[in-house]
Each structure stands twice: as C-alpha cells, then as structure tokens.
Structure 1
C-alpha cells in the first residue's frame, strides 16, 4: 500500500474555461482536502459567504474581457472586500511583469501563467496556504489581544466620580483622547493614574492597538535600555536571542510610562533622544528602528520642583507634558467616596460570594471624614477586607478598619514605618492594635474607641492575632 497523504486546505478555482477547471481539479484534489470549481465569477460572493477557502485561484480574463485583466482585478477587489484576509492567486494566459506587479499591489498573493507546470502550481498553492494559516493566526492573536485589553480594562474600568474636579478631567479626556498629544498625568499614589491613561487609549484612534504599561520604578538602570529599546543577540552576557523592547512592541499603539520621575538624569537623556527622533536602537546594534507611539506619562513626584533642583530635565518635561492632567487626592473629592465604596462593594460581594447589600450611613460619614493617605487604592483594599470580614447584610464600622489615621500618628512619632502602597492589611492591623493597647496600658474600651471598633470586635481581633 502507498503512503497515506494527510491532505489539508480548501481551494476554490474560478475560471470560465471548463477544460482548465477539470484539469486543475483532477490534479489538485490529490493534494488538498477540498477543491471547488466555479465557471461564473458572479457566484463568487455566494461561495465565499457559505465556505471559507484557504486559497482562491482566480482567472484574470473572462469571456467579457479577454485580455486586459480588468475583470480579474474587479473580482479580486470583491473577494478582498468580503474577506480581507483571503489569499488570492491570479491566473492568466496574458501575464506580464507589469500586470503581476499591479496584481500584487492590489492584494493578490501570487501570480501564475497558463499553461502552468503542475509541480510549480502545487508549490505556489502550498506556500499560499501557509500564508493563509499565518494570517489566521495573526487575526486570532489580534482578537485575543483585543479581548485581553477588554478584560484588563473591564476591571474597575469606569473612572467613577461626579465631583466638579472629576467632571473637568472627563472633559479633558474627551478633548485630548482623539489626538496624539503627549499627556502627563500627575497625582498622588493610588489616585488612578493608570485608569486615566487607559481611558485615553480606549477613546483614541489607537484603541484597537496595544496599550503598553511600563513601571519605570521597577526597571533597573542597567536593564533600562534593553527593556525599553530592545537588544540584539550577544549584546551582553544574557542576551541569548534578539528581542524587541517595549517601545517597538507598542508601536502603533500607546505606551504608558508610569513613575517617570524615578528616572536618573542619564536615563532621562536616553529617553529624550528616543522621543525626539521617534526611533529606537537596540542594544548592540547601530541600526535605528522607527516607532509610532502615543506617549502617556505619570508620576506622583513634583517634577517642576525637580527641574529647579536639576533632578529632572526641563527639555524632557516640555516633551512629555503637551497636556497635563492633575488628579485630585480622594480627600479633596469626598462626594465621590460613596460612589467608589458602592462600586468596590458590588465587585467584592460577587468575588467572594458574600451577601452584603449596603453600607451604613454612619460608615459613609466616617469614610468622608477620613484622610485616605493611600487614596482610592487604600479605599479599595479596605472595602475588600471589610467584605471578607462581613457577617451581615449591612457593612458597618465593625467590619471596617481605618488604618491610615492611626498609622500616620505612629509614623509621625518615628515608630515602625510601613509602606502604604504595598502593605499587608492584617499585618498593619496587628501592629496597630498592639501599639494602641500598649498606649492605653491594655484598656480595651479606650483602645477600641481609638481604633473605631466595638469592644467585641476588638476582642475577636485579639483572639485572631493571639495578642
């Protein structure tokens, strides 16, 4: 028995010559999974709407137009209109270099002449099928990327607020998003700078392209150029393969440089060069690559003071701040706190399967009086913890822990410092309970009052933390 051939690929041949159709089908059906033939090009739309072909062999000259190829070009356009990723190979007995060049420019994949050599035709179609597979994979990747962006953006994607300061920011986003103007977002940690950056991207002409977020505070100085601009194989000890940097990867889309105030002056100079030239040169190469990016930067640092102190380049600041968006801290938009709290409540109730329906008015009032040094991020963490600890339908002060006020007092006295950006809520709570108890010599009532807890709630925590 002969070796079994694993046939794959669906081919459509459109030609008004029945002999050509018969000969082509007879030969090609031995090599491909499905070979359909069609004499009348007017049936092409119906065929493509009912079947997905890997390659379409299209005659350029039908009986209405024997030699100019106009009819072939017409149907090429129609096919690509129906399926932009279609792979079309044109066939004609009147081929020439000029026609071939025009065919490729107008979207054809390849070009074969009648009468063809069977082996050459088979090789052409096999290559065309591989191209089709690559296009389909690319489309799938784009769809996945689009879905991934949607998923990433969907978590707390709405920038919640009805305060006058937030309304002004919404108006600015609407005006600026459609442009390619560089945007600098200023604000304290936890105010939602990346949410603003994503909103600008979502409403821009680049919305279907990549949004690349880079935390410059987490990129070490030795790896800065490699991470952002890429490197060639062998550029340094661990460069085992060529790799594109963040700027190249983001080309066509938006790059968000968070914590730009953390860059040293030498790195600022390198970044400025890239932004001015709109090109990147991979480490170990001397060949610049053009990039097309929308730049959005953010920082919680006071860049203008840093410029005065010669810690931040003035020319770089001018380059990145065509438009400035200043995000207010949460304590300056207290009317938004109930909205944010309800938003986080809804999210975490679903996440943890809890049955909390509302937040007590007294807790909302206390939230609005609190300073929120960690801003929205601190509120989010506090709401998550409160939902986890909840035992009834209404969230009240017993389940809510205002860590920042007491924490700030302890820090002001030079006691144990904790990083609000990355703190472990339970660790913070245990430390604070212990310190407040020490302050009040173990008096439960006084300690509970300072911590904003009932006596029973404090006893539960003492038992939990074995204090």
Structure 2
C-alpha cells in the first residue's frame, strides 16, 4: 500500500518506472517538473521518492539533484529519497548518502535491484514511524513543534483569542463555510484544523491546499483532477483535492491570491457542489466543508476589481479574525514558555525558563512575524544559549537591534540571510570545538548526522 513519487524530466523513464512499480506498490505518482516538488511533498505523504539528479538545465553534474534532495528533506526530514542518474560514480553515491539519501541507483537500472531498493527505503521509513499519545502518526527525523488543532493545546489567555475560540466552538459542528482572516504567522492553519477536529466530519479527511501557490496551468488539475489523455502527461485518471476531501474538510489557504479566472472556476464548483475533471464532461458530486484563509484585505481587492464579490459571499458565511501577536500581549510569555518546553526537550538543553528582563523585552517587541516569529526566536535561543535561563541577548543580541535592544522589523529575505549567517557561524564554532568530529558536532547542535551533512554541503564547508 506504499505511496511512491517518481521525479524525472524524461517521459520514457517516468513511464517505464511507473509500469514497473505500480505492479508492486499501492500508489505511484510521476512528475517531470521539479518545480512542483515542494507542493507534492507537502501534500502527498509519500513513503519513497525516486529523484533524478540531472534535469535539463544541468545534464551531468548532479547539482540539481542535491538541491532538490535538500528541499525535500527540509520539508520532510524523514523522507526516503532514492537518487537516480545515468552519470553516477562511487564518489557521488557516497556524497548522496551523506547528505540524506536512502540509496543511489544508476540508469539503466535492473528491475529487481530497483524494486529491492524501493522496498528497503519504504521499510526504513515505516520503521521510523511512532505514534504519539493522541494517536497521530509522526515520522522520524527532526521533531517539529506540535500542530494539534484541539482547543486545549491552543495557547489563548488573552480576551481576543478567547473570543476566537468561542466562535470556533460555536461554528465547528455546523457545515457553514468559514473564512479565516489574519496576518502571516498568526495560526490560521491551526484554527482550520481545530474547526475540522471539533466537527462531525473529523473522521473524514482534512485536505489543505495552498491555492495561492498554484499556477493557472495547475489550478484545475490539482483541485478538480483530470482523466487520462486530458493533456500530454495525463497518462492515468487522477482525482483532485476536492474529491480527496469527500465527506471531510477542504482548507484553501491564501484564497486572496488567486486570479480572477481561477476565482470563476472555483465559484462554479462551490455553487454546483460538483467537480468535472479536466478532459471529462461527467460531473462528480462533492460533499465537503469549505474553510478558506487569507492575509489579504478582500474588501479592498473587491473595490480594485481583483476579487469577486459573489465568491466572497460564498466563502464567508462565518468570518474568524485572528489578531496579530502584538494585540494579544497576554499570550506572548505563555507561548514562549510553551515553545521553550518543546525545544529544550528536542535539543537536550538544560534551559529552565525566561529571565524577568527577557519577559519585559518579549512583551515590548512588536513581533511582525507573529507566533511563527516567536517560535523561531525561541528555538534559535535554546540552541545558542549556554545558560540555564534565557536572557534578552539570546533573543535580540545577534539581530541588529536598536537602542532598546529589540529587533527592528526586517524583510523575510533579510531575516533569512541573517539566520543563515548565524547558522553557519554556529556550525563553524562547533566544528572547531570538536575538531571536525561529525558525531559530536551533530549532538552539540541537536541535529542528526544527515541534517548536519546537508548544512555542511549548503554552506560549502
């Protein structure tokens, strides 16, 4: 019953691999465009990924393969990736295993060898699965902060968030369409999952789609599916995300970023409660609960003729407004303590709490990135501190704060560069401390050896 994804820009290779593997595994997807990898890995939950190392822009060096391997493992650190290439050698195979690949296969492959390799990779991933107390499967690799959608796990001491949770409890067990509004990083996806988990549809699928990231060419095929022969690479029938959510909930994130033609197609589906796959004229009824989210000002977009008013009426039977973190100061310290407890266990750090000075700073900071920024700040501080109590310098000292010691709002790109620089320096210091011993360095940084190798490769170290 394993799910396999094959990524190669050669249609003949894709078809040969699919014909072989679909006789032995439950589900096999193929993709020739590597740019779709983040979307597929985020939404597909594959047990093994067969990844070509050389695409059209780079025919033999393998650089693209290593780049996409790193992207896959950043999204899912436990992903079982098997690299394939016609230009491999022993050195490249060793390098691939060091940076996180499960195995390495040369083209043209031997069928028995490829099957054995995939089976081994699938088995390796299954072995790393654990089940937490709530019964949710979690996979091995770098642990992530819990994303439970239950009300008891959502930090909400402020009056603003208590009002949000009260609204959620009132509407969850209905089938009313919900529109969640709020800035990036406020937790719109968690609220959507919470609504689903408190509804009568909780036993059915919860399907999340970042519709703002879908191009015009992919929008219909991803949401509504397609039939064999609908377009060049449509070699089998495929259901869309609406059909996959049948009986459950579909969450359309970044709904404010879709184009007017996409809005028209979506509106038709919502009005008729049925989808028609690309290349087919047979409508299929759908029974889904719709939840949408956006950080955009939809009223302003309607005024500017960028968003359809009739679509807004369709999706916002109930509106839930998530306040930014700066407007819920009572939640800042409890959230920080919550994340501290998670990361000190994850990284094995003896950090016991927050100093009074840090508590004052946390409450004064504007948190332009909201809860997501706070979470990342706590994780970074736990990794870098050498003390048992976190101080303001652990949060704000390295990011160019002003006279107040607080971080001035920075662009996402700038912050990313700063974090990369900090991570590089941290790795360099640990490498010097342990004389390049990978095992000791990985343990010091709270990383797996594979994760450390990926970062060493990333920074050319």
Q: Where on the TM-score scale, by shorter chain, does this alignment land: which range?
A: 0.5 to 0.7
Equivalent position of 1:322 in the other structure: 317
**Please, what is the CA RMSD of the aligned residues?**
2.8
Deviation (angstroms), 1:397 = 1.6
Equivalent position of 1:55 in the other structure: none
Mapped to 2, the partners of 1:183 and 1:248 lie a distance apart of 19
- Residues 404 and 240 (structure 1), Cα distance of their counterparts in 2 relative to 1, 3 Å cut: farther
The reply to whether residue 160 of structure 1 matches residue 152 of structure 2 is no
Mapped to 2, the partners of 1:299 and 1:149 lie a distance apart of 28
Alpha-carbon contact 2:250-2:288 (below 8 Å) kept:
yes
Mapped to 2, the partners of 1:404 and 1:369 lie a distance apart of 16
The CA deviation string for residues 299-355 of structure 1, in whole angstroms up to 9 with x for no partner, is 000001101111000000000000000000000011100110000001111111111
Equivalent position of 1:426 in the other structure: 419
Deviation (angstroms), 1:398 = 2.5
SS in 2 for 1:270: helix
Mapped to 2, the partners of 1:155 and 1:354 lie a distance apart of 22
Which one has a bigger Cα radius of gyration? Answer: 1
Equivalent position of 2:270 in the other structure: 275
- Residues 238 and 210 (structure 1), Cα distance of their counterparts in 2 relative to 1, 3 Å cut: same
Mapped to 1, the partners of 2:309 and 2:421 lie a distance apart of 40
Equivalent position of 1:241 in the other structure: 236
1:284 pairs, out of 279, 285, 308, with 279
The reply to whether residue 201 of structure 1 matches residue 162 of structure 2 is no
Equivalent position of 2:380 in the other structure: 385
The reply to whether residue 343 of structure 1 matches residue 338 of structure 2 is yes
Deviation (angstroms), 1:425 = 5.0
Deviation (angstroms), 1:216 = 1.1
The CA deviation string for residues 95-124 of structure 1, in whole angstroms up to 9 with x for no partner, is xxxxxxxxxxxxxxxxxxxxxxxxxxxxxx
Mapped to 1, the partners of 2:338 and 2:408 lie a distance apart of 29
Deviation (angstroms), 1:418 = 3.7
Deviation (angstroms), 1:430 = 9.2
In the superposition, the TM-score normalised over structure 2's length comes to 0.57
- Residues 404 and 148 (structure 1), Cα distance of their counterparts in 2 relative to 1, 3 Å cut: farther
Aligned ranges 1:91-130 → 2 under 5 Å:
none
- Residues 227 and 408 (structure 1), Cα distance of their counterparts in 2 relative to 1, 3 Å cut: farther
List gaps (5 residues or longer) in structure 1: 1-142, 412-416, 432-464
Alpha-carbon contact 1:370-1:405 (below 8 Å) kept:
no
Alpha-carbon contact 2:367-2:373 (below 8 Å) kept:
yes
- Residues 409 and 361 (structure 1), Cα distance of their counterparts in 2 relative to 1, 3 Å cut: closer
Deviation (angstroms), 1:154 = 4.7
Greater relative CO (CA pairs within 8 A, separation 6+): 2
Number of positions where the alignment pairs a residue of Structure 1 with one of Structure 2 = 283
Aligned ranges 1:217-232 → 2 under 5 Å:
217-232=212-227
Alpha-carbon contact 1:254-1:296 (below 8 Å) kept:
yes
In the superposition, the TM-score normalised over structure 1's length comes to 0.57
Alpha-carbon contact 1:184-1:322 (below 8 Å) kept:
yes
2:288 pairs, out of 282, 293, 309, with 293
- Residues 428 and 195 (structure 1), Cα distance of their counterparts in 2 relative to 1, 3 Å cut: farther
Deviation (angstroms), 1:427 = 3.1
Alpha-carbon contact 1:382-1:400 (below 8 Å) kept:
yes
The CA deviation string for residues 218-265 of structure 1, in whole angstroms up to 9 with x for no partner, is 211110000000000111111111100000000100000000001000
